[in-house]
Structure 1
Amino acid sequence: MGRRSGRAGQDSAVEGLLASAVQQVVAAPAETLEYALDGGASLLAASAEQWPEVGRALLACAERAVGRCWTAGWRPADLVRVVRRELGPVHLALAVDLIAAEGRRHPAASLDRRWQEQLRELAAEVWWGSDEAYLPEFAARHRQDRFALATAALELLRAWSLLPPIAPVGPVPGQQGGGRAFDPAAARPAAGEPRMLGRIRALLAKAESTEFPDEAEALTEKAQQLMAQHSIDEALLAAGGPAKDAPAALRIGVDQPYESPKAMLLDAVAAANRCRVVWAKEFGFCTVIGFDADLDAVELLYTSLLVQGTAAMHRAGSRRHQDGAPRTKAFRQSFLISYAARIRERLTEATERATADAAAGRHLREDGTSEQLAPDERLLPVLAARGQAVDDTVGRMFPKLVSQRVRVSDGEGWAAGRAAADRAALHGRAGAIED
């Protein structure tokens, strides 16, 4: 009994030590932050004997800190994006682990589909043997001494603690709706990817792997048609169902450099898929608002077109101007702005054609074949109502919006970007973006 009481007292003392260090670091102004970090990390790392208890206390503290971020509207990918933008690789590994540790509180079935997708993409999992073993095992894995690791943990907790509340794009884990301003369709627990989306992904994979351009173009055109038809089918199905469908939202990262034209490209893709985009430049993401099937299409197309546009920009930017001068940042900025503008035209035209076909009763089956049905007079009013619902949701989530102009300063960049957009395939492609 005495040993147990002594252990509990030691844990309590370490928890208090960590809480005090975190409080001082969070409250420290920029000019004294280094001293607060050094002092707090020195106390936490001073004793090898208490280091396992520091690990236990850190996981408990992070559980509360991460939970507060969820309540404030942040999601797993958002927290990791903040760390990637502001801190280093050790902080990033810590962030993923602390998110995984907090996730032990929530059954997978209580998480919406996109939340689960983010956890899978982050590879957030509890890999350590016990909470006491966490910091020693992390230090060995990442070759960190106790002081450096304690400093990184305090810097990470400070970054998360200073995050302001943001507009939520779904429920807090375990709280379906949670008294939010709106009830997103994406709040439903994940039941796997929609079947039509799986078919679209399969077509896109075949298009990526073929060596014959004509075949790739045909496959991607069919995938684009299926995307549009899927959106229309979902709209009509929801309109005829007993439950009222509602707009959802997701966040997509928009990273430096050239974040303004990248946000323009995302807005072009979203607008063609009946979605709206709100850019939070200070946090490096855009919030996309729309109906669930349309949001899926936006993610697929934006990723592909950004990959293609960035690759084309680098190819064009490596050459020289007509006068022999090297191409500059202004060229690349103008290139991507022009690329986004032309993509907007192409996608808008494709959406208008698909909508006209559907209104005339020309229906594309899931297997890619078409059939002639009776024209559905509900389609255009249903789409108009959904557009209004999206606008209303944007107004509730973001009551104070401002517009931003972008400047084109390189004519060659504009012309090259437009030509690249004409060559771009309107389909999804996986891959990393390099600058």
Structure 2
Amino acid sequence: MARGDRSAVTDRRSARPAGRTTSSGRAAVEAVWRIESARIVATLSRYTGDFALAEDLAQEALAEALVTWPRDGVPKEPAGWLLTCGKRRAIDTFRRNATQRDRYSTLAHELGEGQAAAGAPAYERQDVEVLADPDRVDDDVLALMLIACHPVVSREASVALTLRVVGGLTSDEIARAFLVPAATVQARITRAKKAIAAERVAFEVPEPGERRERLGRLLSVIYLIFTEGSSATAGDDVIRHDLAREGIRLARVLTRLMPDEAEAYGLLALLELTAARFPARVDEAGDPVLLEDQDRRRWDTAAVRRGRAALVAAQRVGRGLGPYGLQAAIAECHDIAPTAEATDWSRIVVLYDGLLALTPSPVVAVNRAVAVSMADGPAAALPLVDELIAAEALPHSHLLPLVRGELLRRLGRADEARVELATAVERCPSVRERQLLEARRDAL
């Protein structure tokens, strides 16, 4: 081999570690950000007193890490590095704003601006210890979650803001998750921050009465995130696993933050028990599999145990189950039954009765009708469905014609069932589920 050729080989070999370093650096940034972003934004919010500014500072620190870590290597305390960077950016911001001079002086004194960037001061090392504990959650993170779900913020914006500041997802990731343009996500986040600023929402955990009001919104947002993952409303996939996992993670965080809230445990139980069936919900081709046809041996027994433990906690903490707890109890009935036929459908009907009393809705009524059909037969359930149709419930949903078509099929009224399933196919938004409904219609 010529000398020049050997040099070329040497150059290529020496270039490989740099490529790996760059890749590992970016991977480290993404991993640390996903785990620690909520606590970083929360800490910056407490220091600056400005949630919107803190979120911007954290994003600037993230951007700087994406440049610096692949080039210089991952720092020994990556979460502390990001926090220090954010605080230095805060000082720069306050320096430019003369009206914030007093606050800047306080922050500058705490940060020890004269020290070298590599030598973190003592208070920074304390912050790093807090951030490095993955199981430690505090009131700062709770305040952050409740701010993201403040009533002045629209529900769509609450979802985007929660995934951004608590989940650590980028705007592009949120956009891909909900199949909307990134610009739409960014606009929602911007509107949310403006609404929070306009209302002068303080960065603090609200009083108990107000906290309970916001908790309902927060539970709803987490549930919506998981539901979009577990039953995608658009696209080719039946399940969006990344989104469902994020919903479960947020629910776990919430139970640590609010260990006395029964519905936080109820929501976690519902999500775990629902996700336990994911492995059997689609076949090898990615098509959905109905509950009664699923191979229950493939269900995630560890998730079932976690869900049942969370349900026990909800019953221990609360005075009776709330809406999420009741739905979790229904999911438990399915998960512990060895077969579809062995499911305790009578108990499920009773649980739906309780759920209807707490949160009356057409969707709950339809699901109760399905349970009645399994407990007492399709003839007992058909009048319940017909009453909902007469009341013009869920006029654009595929759920009612689907259930009615199935009841008619079981009653031997194939022609009528085919018409209902055709309507369900027209209304169904999911490509995969629509294909399943078409197959059931054609089978008649």
Structure of higher CA gyration radius: 2
Question: Which structure is richer in relative contact order (CA contacts within 8 A, separation 6 or more)?
Answer: 1
**Could you say which structure has the higher strand fraction?**
1
**Could you say which structure has the higher helix fraction?**
2
Is TM more than 0.5 here?
no
